[in-house]
Amino acid sequence: METSDVRDIRREDVSLPVRDPMTHKGDYGKLLVLAGAVGYTGAASLCAKGAVRAGAGLVYLGVPEDIYEIEAVKNDEAMVFPLAGNGRGRVSADAIGVIERRLEACDVCVLGPGLGRDGDTAAVTAAVLRASQGPLVLDADALWAVSRNLPLLKEAAGPVVLTPHEGEFARLLGRPVQDRLADALGFAREHRCAVVLKGHRTVCAFPNGRAYIPDAGNAGMATGGTGDVLAGVLGALLGQLAPARAVVTGCWLHARAGDLAAEKYGQYGLKAGDIIEFLPMAEKEITGQGS
C-alpha cells in the first residue's frame, strides 16, 4: 500500500473561513446531532457544545424523549428536540421519519455519541446513512452499528467520516489493529470514507491514500468525553469547509485546544469540557488573532 503521502498537521497547514461582515448564521452550516441516552446525557451535550464552539451556524440536537428535559437545561445555544424513545432510554426506530425530515433541513449530521447499542440504534444508523445527502460523522455507538453491516458505508450519498478509537476500529476491521497508519488507510480506501483513528498521534486517513497526523495533543486528553467533543467539532467544520480540509483542521484544533487546556489545568486535571473552553484560543491561533 502506498503510504508515502503522510504528513504532520501543523498550524500553518490548517485554515478557517474568513467571515464576511454581512453573513448570517445560515451561512455557517446547519448541523444535526443525534446523540444521547439515559446514562449518557454528557456525550450529547459535549458534542453539541463542541460544535457551537467550532463555529456552526445552527446546531440541532435530537435526543431520546427520556432525556429531553435534561438536555434542554444543559444546552443554551443548541436547539434540543425530543425523539421517540424505545422504552429503554434510547432512540426508537419509530423516530426515523422525524430524523429523515430533519436531515433534509440540515447540511451535516453527527450520529452516535452516547446512543447506546441495540436494534433501534442499528436501524437509525442505517436509515441516516441512506438518507443523509450531506457530510456525515459516525461516532461511538453508530460505529458499533456499522461494524455489524459494513456494506452500509457504500450506500451513503455524501462524504462519511468515521471517528473510532482503537477498540472501535478493531471491531470495524474484524481483527486487532496491527498498524494504525496502514490499517486506517486501507479501511478508508476500501470503504470510501475518511477515518479519524483517535489516540496517540491521531491518524486522519482518506480514500485517496493521503494521511495526516496532528502535531499536537497530549495524554491528558485520554479521558471520557473528548471524542464526543471532536465529533462535534468535525460536524461544525464540515458545514464550513471542504470535507478533507474540515477533517484536518478539526483534528488539529481539537488537539491544540487540549494542549492549551493542559497548560492551564495539567494533564491529570484536564477534562473534556476544558477542550471546549480552549477551542476559541486555538481558533484564534489559526486566524491570526491570537497573541
pLDDT tens-place string over residues 159-209? 999 999 999 999 999 999 999 999 999 999 999 999 999 999 999 999 999
Strand arrangement, sheet containing 194-197: 6-9, 211-214, 203-205, 194-197, 160-162, 136-138, 108-111, 30-34, 58-64, 79-83
Q: What is the pLDDT of residue 18?
A: 87
Q: What is the pLDDT of residue 159?
A: 96
Helices (H), the chain: 41-53, 68-74, 96-105, 119-131, 141-147, 166-173, 180-191, 226-238, 243-265, 272-287
Instruction: Round the average pLDDT of the chain to a whole number and report it.
Output: 95
Angle of helix 96-105 relative to helix 119-131, nearest 10 degrees, comes to 30
| Residues belonging to the chain | 291
> pLDDT-based confidence at 291, cuts 50/70/90?
very low
Helix (H, G, I), strand (E, B) or coil at 229: helix
> pLDDT-based confidence at 3, cuts 50/70/90?
very low
Does pLDDT of 289 surpass 70? Answer: no
Residue type at 135 in one-letter notation: P
Count of Cβ atoms closer than 10 Å to residue 212 Cβ: 23
Q: What is the pLDDT of residue 13?
A: 85
The more confident residue out of 21 and 166 is: 166
Q: What is the pLDDT of residues 85-137, one digit of tens each?
A: 999 999 999 999 999 999 999 999 999 999 999 999 999 999 999 999 999 99
Q: What is the pLDDT of residue 4?
A: 53
Which CATH superfamily does the domain covering 25-278 fall into?
A: Ribokinase (3.40.1190.20)
Distance CA 191, CA 189 (A): 6
Q: Which residue has the cell 479519524?
A: 196
> pLDDT-based confidence at 5, cuts 50/70/90?
confident
For residue 1 the three cell numbers come to 500500500
Does pLDDT of 1 surpass 50? Answer: no
Helix (H, G, I), strand (E, B) or coil at 192: coil
Does pLDDT of 276 surpass 90? Answer: yes
- Domain regions of the chain by residue span: 25-278
Q: Which residue has the cell 491570526?
A: 288
Mean pLDDT of 53-61: 97
Q: What is the pLDDT of residues 247-261, one digit of tens each?
A: 999 999 999 999 999
Q: What is the pLDDT of residue 248?
A: 96
Q: What is the pLDDT of residue 27?
A: 84
Percentage with pLDDT > 90 across the chain: 90
